[in-house]
Structure 1
Amino acid sequence: MTTKSKVSGGTLAATLYTYTLSAPATGAAPEVAERKAHHNKSGKGFVNPWDSWKHRSGGQIVWAMISRRLFGDLNSPDTTPPTVSVVEPTFLQSRTSSQSLRATWLGHACYYVEFPSGLRVLFDPVFEERCSPFSFIGPKRYTKPPCYIKDIPVVDAIVISHSHYDHLSHPTVLELHKNHPNAQFFVGLGLKKWFANMGIHNVVEMDWWSDIDFTLSKAYPEKRASTSSTSSSPSSNINARISCLPCQHMSARTVWDTAETLWCSWAVESGGKKVWFGGDTGYRAVPRLPKGVDDYGEEYKDLPYCPAFKQIGDLRGPFDLGMIPIGAYDPRDVMSPMHANPYDSVNIFADTKCKRAMGIHWGTWVLTAEDVLEPPKLLKQAMKKKGLPETGVFDVCDIGESREF
């Protein structure tokens, strides 16, 4: 597969680029990948093919939350300010401004990553007030977006982990397409149709363990200084490899389309730097336990864990940066199959062989019952328990803050 399209540098640079997509030889994958066990045997939709997964329907999850609320067994998180600090982000003004990898947290699971090659990638953007199919009901932000879509200077690629409303937003996608009409979307199997229904066709859908080479070249060749002839400079190309990888989660936008589209984690490599984006994932299914019982304690430490992350680390790592979910985990027995808590997150960090990591999937909407500032506190405890530094390796930051790696 090879396709081409024109990509504007937006306000970042006047240079126009064309992009080329090509499917390279399949990268390293575990032997089980060929079985495609995550494809539902019915021929429709997908499954989590591991013992670490326990399926619960949306109705079961809702009832579990409501019943605990009725019996006073569910915490009500306090969102009274101050919570997570929000700062105005700054973005590089040139594609060649930095030789480092630069990552800016835009809230929840959304990260804007500036690669030293010049590539600019936006992960799971949602800029709406509510993560809901409705504008008037559903989880409402307790921290504001640090910027507007129009403030982002250039977007070459937009990576979507799955179809849940806190990761895929109809209004955000439309506005991104309006402001960055040639940005290329990368999505899991089954989601391309959703975009096509909005008139957006620069979309590639991918399966786990598949790869795409993404190349941006200057649309107009440069003149050589010694002659009047033109040729494109090899150094002007921006090359990237984008890889769709497994995670343990679920998808749905209605009660009728559960698991019809694929949930994914992603790797992006460009300019000698490589990142892994966890999106949204669980690690192990934990039973309901009495309060205060450690589910990583001696009795429960051998519960099955998702093997995909170690496979990712062994076959595709190491990564310079991991963007790893740390929130939306309480009640633990209800949420653990699909949402990691910080102790899970640290294990995912180790399994995937990330050199550094930033915590995502917290600090924006109340989706579950843990206190809104609990995830970063538990992250430090989890790092200490793992024998790792509490700061400087797997961190959190202000919304809108940039870090270099």
Structure 2
Amino acid sequence: MSSVGPADTILSHHSPDGRFDNPWDTWKETGLWGVLKWQIDRRAKNVPQGGWLLKSRTPTSKDFIDEFPLHQLDSATLSDAGGDFITAVWMGHASVLVKMEGITFLTDPVFSQRCSPVQWAGPKRFVPAPRLDKSILPSLDFVIISHNHYDHLDYGTVVQLHKQYGNDLTWYVPLGLQKWFHRCKITNVKELDWWQSVQHCGGPVTVTMTPAQHWSSRTGTDRRHTLWGGYAVLGEKLRFWFAGDTGYCPVFKEIGRRLGPFDLSAIPIGAYKPRDFMKPQHINPQEAVQIHQDVRSMQSIGIHCCTFCLTDEALDEPPQLLVREAAAAKLSHGSFVTLQHGACLKTAGGLNRNEPALLGTP
């Protein structure tokens, strides 16, 4: 395990009490009062609690299905035809299935009906996860986990994948999360700190954890006890970056300098309202476009949207705003898009090898 070069500036994210910190001035801690104020304000503004669309504040199940089509996976979709490009399938929220240089991996897989400690309460999926099993995906090399929030680390999905793929499946996780996996009887787990790298099983790709501005907690009493971050997966010819969950901070230009440019990036675009509460921890589409530029991404897909109702914006607003912000920033056409659930994008060097099914377009 190695580190990726010396830091431009030494910013410690390790707290003396054993917890982790965000070392940038852009971070602001949000406590219980902030949560209560948000809930009071959203009731005063009559924000729909169960999810809504720009065209309707009281949408039906059919309205959601019409707005967010689901593409079912098949083995042909994942063919890389020689491996000279990255194949990526958006599985909903922050889950992306990626194949590059003969390696297949998943980011933050959450396939359960709810992102919650229990499956009888909590945010419920508006779009089912595409079916994924060994008949569709015979082998899966590794999974990368950005942090331990329930919409990014799901017990049911973790157990399901371990049951399907066994101990050959490697889990890359932030510092402090290995114990959680060991309690799930999963031992093939590798913890990483920011900027640490590991070559996956002696193969063609290196996995590097990258910083992000966020936080962690699963029980309410373990805030920032485990680390959070994104990941760069770097092959001999291709480079992929997963931002994880983050607010905007100065580190993205440093990521671009050290590890970019990237053939493909997966960058969050949703869960950003109200801004006074969400800004330190979740970027909006405008900030996502800035990150796309900061990390020197040639092609990006928007994630962390259109699947669960977590915040106050309409569920279909993020991809529509992304289209406008990409145009305002004069990005090349189609260089930052949001896929439909289960849709596939094949790209390398900023050139797409297919016409993917998109959200947010007229």
Superimposed CA distance per residue, residues 259-310 of structure 1 (whole angstroms, 9 cap, x where no aligned partner): 1000011000124100110111111xxxxxxxxxxxxxxxxxxxxxx11101
Aligned pairs for 1:143-292 (under 5 A) are: 143-150=127-134, 151-181=136-166, 182-215=168-201, 238-283=203-248
Task: Specify whether residues 354 and 38 from structure 1 end up closer, same or farther in structure 2 by C-alpha distance, changes over 3 A only.
Answer: same
Aligned to 2:356: none
Secondary structure of residue in 2 paired with 1:122:
strand
Q: Counterpart of 1:106 in 2: which secondary structure?
A: strand
Q: CA RMSD, aligned part only?
A: 1.7
1:31 match: 8
Report Cα offsets for 1:66-113 as digits up to 9, x if no partner.
Answer: 201332253553253222111112345767644221001111000010
Secondary structure (helix, strand or coil) at the match of 2:273 reads: coil
Gaps in structure 1 of 5+ consecutive residues: 1-22, 217-237, 284-305
Give the conservation status (yes or no) of the 8 Å contact 1:327–1:341.
yes
Q: Secondary structure at the match of 1:174?
A: helix
Asked whether the equivalents of residues 29 and 315 of structure 1 are also in contact (C-alpha less than 8 Å), the reply is no
Contact 2:197 2:206 survives alignment (8 Å): yes
More helix by share: 2
Q: Residues of 2 paired with 1:185 and 1:211: CA distance?
A: 14
2:47 is aligned to 74
TM-score (structure 1 length as normaliser): 0.79
2:353 corresponds to: none
Please tell me whether the aligned partners of residues 83 and 372 of structure 1 are also in contact (alpha carbons under 8 angstroms). no
| Alpha-carbon distance in structure 2 between the residues aligned to 1:321 and 1:371 | 27
Q: Please state whether the residue corresponding to 1:180 is helix, strand or coil.
A: helix
Unaligned runs of 5+ in 2: 53-58, 348-362
Structure (1 or 2) with the larger CA radius of gyration: 1
User: How many residue pairs are counted as aligned between the two chains?
Assistant: 333
Q: Which amino acid in 2 is paired with 1:50?
A: W
Q: What does the per-residue CA deviation read over 1:214-237, in whole Å, with 9 as the maximum and x for residues that have no partner? A: 135xxxxxxxxxxxxxxxxxxxxx
Q: CA deviation at 1:316?
A: 1.1
2:109 to 119, 125, 128: 125
In structure 1, the residue matched to 2:255 is: 312
Task: Tell me the distance in 1 between the aligned counterparts of 2:319 and 2:304.
Answer: 11
Q: Percent same amino acid among aligned pairs?
A: 38
Q: Which of 24, 29, 33 is matched with 1:50 structurally?
A: 24
Q: What pairs up with 1:106-145 in 2 under 5 angstroms?
A: 106-115=91-100, 117-145=101-129
* Other structure's SS at 1:32 match: coil
CA contact (8 A) 1:29 1:209 kept: no
The residue aligned with 1:41 is 16
Q: Give the partner amino acid of 2:39.
A: I
The 8 Å contact of residues 130 and 138 in structure 1, kept in 2 or not, is answered as yes
